[in-house]
Amino acid sequence: EQQKLWTLLPTGFGGINLTPSSLMLPEKSVSGFIGLGPHVRKVNYACQHCDMEHCLYRRKRLATLS
Return the DSSP state at 34. -
**Per-residue confidence at 50, pLDDT binned at 50, 70, 90?**
confident
Residues in the chain: 66
Residue 21 predicted with pLDDT over 90 = yes
3-state secondary structure of 24: strand
3-state secondary structure of 18: strand
CA 61 – CA 47 distance, rounded (Å): 8
Q: Which of 15, 40, 37, 41 minimizes the C-alpha distance to 26? A: 15
H/E element holding 25? strand 24-25
Q: Is the whole model's pTM more than 0.85, yes or no?
A: no
